[in-house]
Structure formats: C-alpha cells, structure tokens
Chains A and B, each alone.
Chain A
Amino acid sequence: MADVKWMPGSIFDNIDKFANSLGYQNAAVAIELAMMPWKSPEERDAFIAGITGDDVKGGTEKNYIKQNF
C-alpha cells in the first residue's frame, strides 16, 4: 500500500465517516459498516444521518484535494 488515494467513498473515507459519526467506542461496528458496498458517498451519508439523527462527521471535502491540482 504505497500511496493511499483519499477519495470519497473509498474504504478509508468510509471508516473515517462511520467512526467519527458513530463514536470511537463503536469502532468495530463502524468498520463493518464501512466495508459494506455503498452505492455512493451520498447513500452512505444518508444512512449515517438516518441512524444518528445528526450530520455526518469526519474529514471534509478539502481533504480530497489531491496533489497535482
């Protein structure tokens, strides 16, 4: 794993969003949910908002600006 592409909807992005939205004490559940085949980041975020009743927490879009841009 030489270079991690931090893209919306990637497994690491999913883990970031689920862990920070559900709470670190729910790390195991967060990682399991992050591994589900979400159709899009929007579907994932809607699911998180549905179960937490709150906004999605975690990295913001500025984190996705890659080098060479």
Chain B
Amino acid sequence: MASGGANGGPQYNPANVSGTGGAGQSGNYTGFAYGENSALNNSRVAGNAAVASVAATGGTSSNPAPYGDNNMPPLGTLLDPTTKPSEPISAGVDFGRGPGSEVLPKGFQNNTRIDENAKVALQYLPDLAIAARSADAPDSFKRFVNYLIDNSQGVNPNG
C-alpha cells in the first residue's frame, strides 16, 4: 500500500472549518489583537467551568434543549396573523396607525432610511427610469422616480 498520499480524510473537505479561526486543534482563540487572545481564552475557560458546574448540579437536566424554557413565540412570516391584536401592525414605524418610532428603544432610532434609499436608488434607478418613460406609466410613478433621481445625486456607489 502506498503511503504519503491523499487519503480522503476530513482535512481535505473544504467545508471543515475551525470555529476558533485557527487550526482547530487546541480550541484556543487566535488572530485577535495582541493581548486579546489570552483574555478571550481565559474567558472561555471560565465560562466552560461555569457551565460544567451548573450541569453537574442538574441545572439543565430537566430541560436538555438550550433556551427551551423561554416564552418567545416561534417566528412567523410577514403575512401571518398578528400575535398582538390590540396593537396596530404599524406601531413603531412612522406611517400608519399607532405610535411612531419615538416609542422604540434608543438603539432602534437611528434613521438609516436616507442611506438605504440612496443605495436602492443607485441599484434600481436604471430600470425604474426606463419604466417611467413608458407611455402608460402613472404620474405617481414618475414622481417617485424623480424623487429617487434627486436623492441619488452625489452618492458613493460603494456605500
């Protein structure tokens, strides 16, 4: 039998990627800034010890599924019936019924619509402009395309 050649082992599978970003042998974090690798590794060791101590006392024995005992409903789709029938579907956004974005937590209040609109304008404007020149394009559509044209001026296509 020949030796030294490829044997088709898991090291030849490109999908086998180490979750730690390194060679995957030690489980230690690598590749972070100087001093951060050891801090992360120490944190990992402490965390593993804490989890092991909880497991040893039977803390998770009655519920083996992680996060299995939370009360979060399963995620639905956009068109599913509402799970909060007393709250307007547009609560938290600045159109429609209900309170606007002022009721959202602070972290959700960044207005990124200007940037998003500019990117969308750059991406779709060529096709939208052609459609707007169609003989039967509604005036409302033409106004919208003109709005995108006005808001796409001077936008960096690379974001």
B-contacting residues of A (Cβ < 8 Å)?
1, 3-4, 6, 12, 15-16, 19-20, 22-29, 31, 36, 47, 50-54, 57-60, 63-67
Interface centre among A12, A29, A64, by most chain B C-beta atoms within 10 angstroms, is A12
Instruction: Indicate if the CB atoms of A1 and B130 lie closer than 8 Å.
Output: yes
Prevailing SS type, chain A contact patch: helix
Indicate if the CB atoms of B95 and A58 lie closer than 8 Å: no
Assess whether A20 is in contact with B144, with CB atoms less than 8 Å apart: yes
B124 at the interface (CB under 8 A from A): yes
Name the interface residues of B101-159: CB closer than 8 Å to any CB of A. 113, 116-117, 119-121, 124, 127-128, 130-131, 134-141, 143-144, 147-148, 151
The answer to whether A27 and B120 have CB atoms under 8 Å apart is: yes
Tell whether, in the assembled complex, residue A12 and residue B141 are in contact, meaning their CB atoms are under 8 Å apart. Answer: yes
A52 and B144 contact, CB distance less than 8 A: no
Q: Which residue of chain B has its CB nearest to the CB of A19?
A: B144
**Residues of B close to A57: CB separation below 8 A:** 140
**Given the complex of chains A and B, what is the CA–CA distance between A66 and B90 in angstroms?**
35
Contact check, B138 vs A4: say whether CB atoms are below 8 A apart: no
B96 near A52 (CB under 8 angstroms)? yes
Instruction: State how many angstroms separate the Cβ of B45 from the closest Cβ of chain A.
Output: 44
> Are B117 and A27 in touch, CB under 8 angstroms?
yes
Contact of B79 among A26, A47, A64 (CB under 8 A): A47
Measured CA separation A15–B127 after assembly (Å): 12
CA distance A42 to B135 in the complex (A): 24
- Whether the pair A31, B113 counts as a contact (CB closer than 8 A) is no
Q: Is the CB of B140 within 8 A of A20?
A: yes
- Do B134 and A4 touch (CB < 8 A)? yes
A–B Cβ pairs within 8 angstroms, 14 of them: A1-B127, A3-B134, A6-B136, A6-B138, A26-B113, A27-B113, A27-B121, A28-B116, A50-B89, A51-B89, A52-B96, A58-B140, A59-B138, A65-B136
